[in-house]
């Protein structure tokens, strides 16, 4: 009511305002259209919806009603998301399918996707399950008449969810299935119509798969395309993520100096606090790069200087990464026994998280440490298992490293950093 009185007073004291306001006409129909857009998935940003100026005193009340309706829908979506998270994964799809009016909002789909992304590093199986649900929720927005495409926001959400299903599948270690999912996504007729920022996100995610497959030129090309978009739109955090990945790709090709240059570029692009997750990703990569350069003392000091960052962060996969880096430094400093223990601990943590490909890499590094300790029989048995694991995933280069261990050859032990960024 205060808004109504203020509006009326403005029109009373300013004839120019009154005339201009009258020319705008009533927004009653526009408000109804916006609410209808929410129902069919054509949601705009909340700022656009809340920023519409009413044209007459009576419309102010309608505007307040719109705000109340938006809040109600947001609360309902939160409640529905919580209910789905409490439901056993194998029953969620049926719950959505059998509901008559519930679990059918774009807001809910967005919340499920955000939760999937948040969980991908810690629980890839659950992350993939939640991203799958996005398509189930959005199934209610199919146009009944042939020839009418789904609303643009729905198309974008479906594509992003499909990409994050593929990424979670990759994190879980099934590289061939992730490859198939990305190919399916890019072959969809709607892919070419996606906003460039969404295509850049998909490129950045798929680059992690190409890195895991050791298809480095493809990873570089995807990251280069994504970086161009992020520079153009000014997304500094996404640009930093892309630079970190490019550095990791270079480091995995034995180009550690170039890796460090990309990490410096990432730090310069980063527009977050010193305690950010991305800052720690840069620290992880720098430690690995220093080890690649044989500067193990510097790597040890950098790891020690950032111990508080690892312990302050509650994400379990960070502990797995930390222990892997600790093993890498120990091996370089000549303490093979400590290195073996650290790699074994990292391997176990990755296995507990369901990140079996990363666990296999830790096992490969543990085999290097075991070989340095003179454990020939046990290490060859472990390496033989790893050969089969890497061959099954189609990663020939890592299978060759495992074969080298069986032959008794101590090749350079490089830590392939997991892509959780």
Mean pLDDT to the nearest integer, 267-280: 78
Gap between the Cα atoms of 53 and 37, Å rounded: 18
| Both structure tokens of 316 | 């379990």
Collapsed DSSP state (helix, strand, coil) of residue 99:
coil
299-348 per-position pLDDT tens digit: 999 999 999 888 887 778 889 999 999 999 999 999 999 999 999 999 99
356-406 per-position pLDDT tens digit: 999 999 999 999 898 888 887 888 888 888 888 888 888 888 888 888 877
- Does 68 score more than 90 pLDDT? no
3-state secondary structure 360-408: HHHHHHHHHHHHHCCCHHHHHHHHHHHHHHHHHHCCHHHHHHHHHHHCC
Count of beta carbons in the 10 Å neighbourhood of residue 118: 13
Surface-to-core class of residue 4, CB atoms within 10 Å of its CB (0-12 exposed, 13-18 middle, 19+ buried): middle
Torsion angles phi and psi, residue 284, rounded to 5: -55, -50
Close Cβ partners of 25 (under 8 Å, ≥ 6 residues apart): 55
Mean pLDDT to the nearest integer, 229-252: 94
400-417 per-position pLDDT tens digit: 888 887 776 555 556 666
Residue that is written with structure tokens 């790709």 in the block? 249
Confidence of residue 57 (pLDDT cuts 50, 70, 90): low
Gap between the Cα atoms of 187 and 168, Å rounded: 20
Bigger pLDDT: 90 vs 13: 90
Mean pLDDT of the chain: 83
Confidence of residue 7 (pLDDT cuts 50, 70, 90): low
| Both structure tokens of 245 | 């990945």
């Amino acid at each position: 009511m205060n808004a109504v009185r203020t509006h009326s007073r403005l029109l009373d004291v300013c004839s120019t305002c009154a005339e201009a306001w009258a020319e705008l006409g009533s927004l009653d129909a526009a408000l109804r259209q916006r609410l209808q857009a929410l129902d069919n998935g054509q949601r705009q940003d909340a700022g656009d919806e809340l920023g519409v100026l009413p044209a007459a005193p009576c419309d102010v009340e309608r505007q307040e009603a719109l705000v109340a309706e938006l809040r109600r829908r947001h609360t309902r979506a939160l409640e529905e998301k919580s209910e789905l998270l409490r439901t056993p994964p194998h029953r969620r799809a049926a719950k959505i399918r059998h509901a008559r009016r519930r679990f059918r909002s774009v807001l809910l789909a967005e919340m499920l996707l955000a939760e999937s992304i948040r969980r991908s590093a810690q629980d890839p199986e659950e992350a993939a399950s939640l991203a799958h649900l996005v398509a189930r929720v959005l199934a209610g927005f199919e146009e009944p008449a042939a020839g009418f495409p789904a609303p643009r926001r729905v198309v974008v959400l479906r594509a992003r969810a499909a990409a994050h299903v593929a990424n979670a599948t990759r994190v879980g270690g099934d590289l061939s299935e992730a490859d198939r999912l990305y190919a399916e996504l890019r072959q969809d007729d709607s892919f070419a119509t996606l906003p460039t920022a969404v295509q850049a996100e998909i490129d950045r995610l798929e680059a992690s798969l190409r890195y895991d497959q050791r298809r480095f030129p493809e990873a570089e090309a995807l990251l280069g395309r994504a970086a161009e978009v992020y520079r153009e739109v000014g997304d500094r955090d996404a640009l930093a993520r892309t630079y970190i990945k490019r550095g990791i790709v270079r480091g995995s090709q034995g180009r550690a100096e170039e890796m460090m240059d990309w990490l410096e570029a990432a730090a310069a692009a980063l527009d977050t606090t010193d305690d950010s997750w991305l800052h720690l990703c840069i620290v992880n990569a720098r430690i690995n790069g220093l080890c690649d350069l044989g500067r193990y003392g510097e790597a040890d000091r950098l790891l020690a200087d950032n111990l508080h960052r690892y312990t302050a962060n509650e994400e379990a996969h960070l502990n797995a990464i930390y222990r892997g880096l600790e093993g890498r430094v120990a091996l370089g400093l000549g303490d093979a026994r400590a290195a073996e223990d650290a790699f074994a601990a990292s391997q176990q943590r990755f296995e507990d998280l369901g990140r079996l490909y990363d666990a296999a890499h830790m096992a490969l590094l543990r085999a290097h440490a075991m070989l340095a300790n003179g454990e020939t029989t046990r290490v060859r048995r472990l390496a033989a298992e790893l050969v089969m694991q890497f061959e099954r995933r189609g990663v020939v280069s890592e299978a060759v490293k495992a074969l080298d261990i069986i032959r008794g050859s101590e090749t350079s032990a490089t830590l392939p950093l997991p892509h959780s960024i």
